[in-house]
């Protein structure tokens, strides 16, 4: 069970996060200090992502709540995703306002000859705007419902120990 998992600390580009030590870490080859993506691939067959970018690029979204709502709207605007129940929570991370979302999503994959398959996913995300580093950060993870409890524990740990700027 994931509660017995060991965690390690990853620090890069002035930020840090705890992650399960059994995950494989993949940096996007285009990642830089100002923007990038990291995928944490679990042997339990789900992925967690950490993305960051220049804070100036999301200023027009009216703060961290607006940014989180925009991400949700983008997800729901897809033909392949139908957004269900949404739980929103405002919080503080590393001294900055942050917005947590827990969303149920129905994914519809269209196949050949009008075949469609549907699957339920749980998507948890955290948006943080850090004026100290002039960056935004998003931690998110889409998982099948059967992995949702395990993933919730991991995401909670990553959020609790996330540092958007390391002093």
Whether 127 shows a pLDDT value over 80: the answer reads yes
Average pLDDT over residues 65-94: 83
How far out from the chain centre does Cα 31 lie?
16
152 vs 66, higher pLDDT? 66
**What values do phi and psi take at 82, rounded to 5?**
-115, 115
Average pLDDT over residues 143-153: 80
Residue 13 CA to residue 27 CA, distance in Å, equals 12
Check the CA dihedral 110-44-27-91 and report its sign. Answer: positive
Residue range 15-160, CATH number: 3.40.1000.10
Q: What pLDDT is attached to residue 86?
A: 85
Residue 151 CA to residue 158 CA, distance in Å, equals 10
Whether 82 shows a pLDDT value over 70: the answer reads yes
Per residue in 50-59, pLDDT (tens digit) is 999 999 999 8
120 vs 8, higher pLDDT? 8
153: which strand partners?
Answer: none
Whether 78 shows a pLDDT value over 70: the answer reads no
Q: What pLDDT is attached to residue 167?
A: 65
Q: Across 9-13, 86-90, 138-142, which has the greatest mean pLDDT?
A: 9-13
């Amino acid at each position: 069970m994931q509660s017995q998992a060991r965690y390690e600390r990853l620090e890069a580009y002035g930020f840090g996060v705890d992650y399960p030590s059994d995950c494989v870490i993949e940096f996007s080859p285009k990642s830089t200090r100002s923007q990038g993506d990291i995928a944490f691939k679990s042997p339990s067959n789900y992925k967690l992502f950490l993305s960051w970018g220049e804070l100036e690029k999301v200023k027009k979204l009216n703060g961290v709540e607006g940014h989180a709502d925009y991400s949700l709207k983008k997800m729901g605007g897809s033909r392949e995703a139908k957004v269900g129940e949404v739980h929103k929570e405002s919080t503080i991370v590393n001294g900055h306002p942050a917005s947590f979302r827990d969303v149920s999503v129905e994914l519809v994959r269209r196949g050949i000859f009008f075949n469609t398959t549907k699957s339920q996913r749980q998507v948890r995300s955290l948006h943080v705007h850090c004026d100290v580093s002039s960056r935004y950060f998003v931690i998110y993870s889409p998982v099948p419902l059967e992995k949702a409890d395990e993933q919730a524990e991991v995401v909670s740990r990553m959020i609790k120990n996330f540092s958007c700027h390391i002093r």
